[in-house]
Amino acid sequence: MSKNTVLITGGAGYIGSHTAVQLITQGSKVIVLDNLCNSNAEVLNRIHSITGIRPEFVKGDILDRGCLDKMFAKYSIDSVIHFAGLKAVGESTQIPLAYYQNNVTGTLVLCEAMAAAGVKTLVFSSSATVYGEDAPVPYIETMPRGKTSNPYGTSKAMVEQLLTDLCKSDPEWSVALLRYFNPIGAHPSGLIGEDPKGIPNNLMPFISQVAVGKRKELSIFGNDYPTDDGTCERDYLHVMDLADGHLAALGCLSDGGVHIYNLGTGSGTSVLEMVNSFQDVTGVEVPYSFAPRREGDLPAFWADASKAEKELGWKASRTLDEMMADTWNWQSKNPNGYDD
């Protein structure tokens, strides 16, 4: 690791906490900034249990310039991994202003504070959603951003543009735009994992919450898509692989400019395959029924993940079985997430 002190915005969240563990394990000093709007401070104790080190924690908001300035003055931060943001696609159509405020204005304020502090290395959590609804699969980084179908996706595309313009204006900035596909799984210790508040929006936590008895059955939205079994296909990758992708990106960010990478496995798995795989690996039955398609869901997409392998030396290596086993290890040990 070339960058020693790393600020992780949204570091108490799902992907941020796993990335914090990997960074600490590799010898970086980690500062977590989080307003805990979608996470729980207990995660810091769990990171401590796993790594033996408790990250510095600042409870604060990326929109709070005063808080950011104080933090940059207090810690000698070399680089920033920026996870903080709102991420529920459906919710973003109901409260779009909150999404633009948090995701776009929040990033803008963060970048202003970084520039003022002379910190110009940033890794940003983007999403496969920026390829838009009409993009052919597999998605490859050379394709232009497409037509996004909801304010969440549009906010990610806007931030990508904001960061691209910033890098053009000042060659000292080095930015990685990491386009995640579908992270699932948990740290193999079962101490940290995905802990959605309320009804999960994503498939994997829904499956595991049904399995643990927290929800009655899984609704599978649509079984008449033009896929092999009629259900949607996505590119699921282990959250530990995704975390490692951030370390790889950070290690390669020294030459200025914007660098875009897909982080996915390169293949799609259908909803039914996911359910069957979970049942096979855990031996726990997941009752399900089919429901109408959900508006805005695309039939199938997956990554061309070759650029990250070639340039970052990163490749998703954990198997679907490991993703299922680690998800179940976390969920069964923490039926109510961090609230136990």
* Active-site amino acid positions: 152
Distance CA 158, CA 164 (A): 10
Residues 215-254 that bind ligand NAD (CB under 6 A): none
Binding flag, residue 308, ligand NAD (CB under 6 A): no
* Residue 280 neighbours by CB distance under 10 Å: 11
Binding flag, residue 268, ligand NAD (CB under 6 A): no
Residue 180 Cα distances to 1, 120, 171, 187, 304, angstroms: 21, 22, 25, 18, 12
Pick from 16, 185, 205, 245: which binds ligand NAD (CB under 6 A)?
Answer: 16
Q: Is the preceding omega at residue 138 within 30 degrees of 0, hence cis?
A: yes
Close Cβ partners of 310 (under 8 Å, ≥ 6 residues apart): none
* Comparison of 58 and 275: residue with beta carbon closer to ligand NAD: 58
Residue 54 Cα distances to 7, 20, 77, 308, angstroms: 14, 10, 17, 30
Q: What sections of 62-179 are H helices per DSSP?
A: 65-74, 89-94, 96-99, 106-117, 151-169
* Comparison of 180 and 225: residue with beta carbon closer to ligand NAD: 180
The nearest distance, CB 17 to ligand NAD, in angstroms, is 8
The nearest distance, CB 285 to ligand NAD, in angstroms, is 25
Binding flag, residue 38, ligand NAD (CB under 6 A): yes
Close Cβ partners of 321 (under 8 Å, ≥ 6 residues apart): 277, 281
Stretch that binds ligand NAD, among 13-21, 67-75, 281-289, 295-303 (CB under 6 A): 13-21
The nearest distance, CB 59 to ligand NAD, in angstroms, is 9
The nearest distance, CB 15 to ligand NAD, in angstroms, is 4
Binding flag, residue 14, ligand NAD (CB under 6 A): yes
Q: CA-based Rg of the chain, rounded to a whole angstrom?
A: 19
DSSP H or E segment with residue 252? none
The nearest distance, CB 167 to ligand NAD, in angstroms, is 19
Binding flag, residue 109, ligand NAD (CB under 6 A): no
Distance CA 152, CA 91 (A): 9
Residue 325 Cα distances to 71, 185, 196, 281, angstroms: 38, 8, 19, 6
Binding flag, residue 72, ligand NAD (CB under 6 A): no
Phi, psi of 51 (to 5 degrees): -100, -15
Residues 142-181 that bind ligand NAD (CB under 6 A): 180
Stretch that binds ligand NAD, among 59-67, 136-144, 211-219, 302-310 (CB under 6 A): 59-67
Binding flag, residue 106, ligand NAD (CB under 6 A): yes
Pick from 3, 6, 31, 35: which binds ligand NAD (CB under 6 A)?
Answer: 35
- Assess contact for 308 and 247: CB atoms under 8 A: no
> How many angstroms from the chain centroid is the CA of residue 77?
22
Pick from 132, 151, 153, 183: which binds ligand NAD (CB under 6 A)?
Answer: 183
The nearest distance, CB 328 to ligand NAD, in angstroms, is 18
* Comparison of 14 and 225: residue with beta carbon closer to ligand NAD: 14
Q: Which residues in this chain contact ligand NAD in the complex, by CB under 6 A?
A: 9-10, 12-16, 34-39, 61-63, 83-87, 102, 106, 125, 127, 180, 182-183
